[in-house]
Amino acid sequence: METSTVVDPLRISVIGTGYLGATHAVCMAELGFEVIGVDVDVDKIERLGAGEVPFFEPGLEELLRKNLESGRLSFTTSLADAAGMADVHFVCVGTPQHPDSNAADMRYVDAAISGLIAGGLRPDSLVVGKSTVPTGTAARLADRLAADAPGVELAWNPEFLREGFAVDDTLRPDRLVFGVGADSTAEATLRRVYASVIDAGTPVVVVDYPTAELVKVAANSFLATKISFINAMAEVCEATGADVTHLAKAISYDARIGGRFLNAGLGFGGGCLPKDIRAFQARATELGVGKALAFLAEVDAINIRRRTHTVALTTRLLGGTTAGRKVAILGGAFKPNSDDIRDSPALAVADALHRAGAAVAVYDPAAIPNARRLYPHLTYADNAVDAASGAHIVLHLTEWTEFRELDPAALNQVVSTRIIVDGRNTLNPARWRTAGWSYHALGRP
């Protein structure tokens, strides 16, 4: 990927080198800045420093190696090094669901700020939050910086990355949101950081802290609601004999609705949408406006119900029992072009079928190493044909291109029974039926 870069004397640190942080660090170097990435995970830092991305993201490793070779990008475990070196510090640590509630766990954000302060932030530097946080966090952290690191400003610049498209979403985003305090110079600094991106036509929305914090969770809540809506329609279609794919196409022509995220199927997963809508509800309840977001509980419930429905459908197609039956699962990542298995619907179904007595074999082009660590009791295959060998039913649960293009005839001679469940509604029903398969999909007759 060719990117126009202009070397700028501003130096940048990125705190946290997980999915968001590693991508941001690499892309900031690609834009021409001297960048240092920081993480407490020694193995992760060593791998990044050696030019190896610890997760699957198309195009990122190529840019990582390019910018390591240029000398613009480096990695360290020392927050003190970052605090003393950089002019702008991007906080990109995780905010997972709290282990004891639906709220966001803020320990990593707070630890990053504490580490920067202890490391000796320069008075003229800027701390920029990119992590998804509950509203009120930025104001709290700004007060802390004012007390413990006078002269250091805070801004909030939420991320909107799509896994599988993260490099493009960073270098060519559809918008930039800058949350800044009153009488702040942070906007000017952020415009300098993103100058080439802005010059390319990306719109900038400058807002206060609470609005910046709400933008990401509001966007994710809307997308989750749209996905759960069409999956609710799939339930109705199954009860009436209607076809949800035709229904979605028909309503998508209404410009007010559109067709994006109207693909009925197994539902959403990953590290953002599920935990973000739960944390949003939890924070709204704390603020006394929980009723305003009560609908998100049903959005979440509809999404989870698609998994149990898929297990029930599989059981019915197997004659009422899964005990002793072999089930081939095509897909492990929560979405294609990713090895992320966090809250993966595909693996949730695989695990439920295993617990019900089925012999489950899983194949995914990228996610098998991660899946093995979390679900060591499942069996894993090296390819789709091996997964389907001896299978009484095949479940298509992650919409990789490889699976959409799979020739059903390639499986005909290896399966025990030609039954397929299209959990993503992306296979060609006529193609599979012509090859002799009993084809079933969610929300379709």
CATH code for position 433 = 3.40.50.720
Q: Are residues 32 and 79 in the same domain?
A: yes
Residues 83 and 197 in one domain: yes
- Res. 7: pLDDT tops 90: no
Percent of the chain with pLDDT over 90: 97
Is the residue at 358 inside a domain?
yes
Q: What is the pLDDT of residue 184?
A: 83
Q: Is residue 369 part of a domain?
A: yes
Could you report the per-residue pLDDT of 26-84, keeping only the tens digit for each?
999 999 999 999 999 999 999 999 999 999 999 999 999 999 999 999 999 999 999 99
CA distances from 390 to 94, 284, 384, 412 (A): 41, 50, 12, 10
pLDDT tier at 183, thresholds 50, 70, 90: confident
- Does residue 331 sit in the same domain as residue 351? yes
Question: What does the pLDDT look like over 381-391, one tens digit per residue?
Answer: 999 999 999 99
Q: Are residues 22 and 114 both part of a single domain?
A: yes
Is 1 among the domain residues?
A: no
Give a three-class secondary structure readout of 320-348. Answer: CCCCCCEEEEECCCCCCCCCCCCCCHHHH
Residues involved in catalysis: 272
pLDDT in tens, 94-144: 999 999 999 999 999 999 999 999 999 999 999 999 999 999 999 999 999
Q: Are residues 352 and 279 in the same domain?
A: no
Say whether both 66 and 164 belong to one domain.
Answer: yes
For 288, the domain range is 217-300
Q: List the CATH number of the domain containing 264.
A: 1.10.1040.10
Q: Which of 253, 277, 300 is the last residue of a domain?
A: 300
- 5 lies in some domain: no
Tally of domains in the chain: 3
Residue 134 lies in a domain: yes
* 70 CB-contact burial (10 Å; exposed 0-12 / middle 13-18 / buried 19+): middle
Among 389, 410, 135, 424, which residue's Cα sits nearest to residue 285?
Answer: 135
Asked if residue 318 has pLDDT above 70, the reply is yes
Q: Are residues 253 and 354 in the same domain?
A: no
pLDDT given for residue 270 in this prediction: 95
The interaxial angle of helices 19-30 and 60-70, nearest 10 deg, is 50
Indicate the average pLDDT of the chain: 96
Same domain? 18 vs 158? yes
Is there a single domain that holds both residue 193 and residue 224? no
Burial class (CB in 10 A: 0-12, 13-18, 19+), 49: middle
Task: Write down the pLDDT at residue 1.
Answer: 43
**pTM value?**
0.92
Is 212 part of a structural domain of the chain?
no
Task: Please say which residue of 174, 207, 240 terminates a domain.
Answer: 207
Whether the predicted pLDDT of 279 surpasses 80: yes
336 contacts 404 by C-beta, under 8 angstroms = no
Q: In terms of domains, do 48 and 171 share one?
A: yes
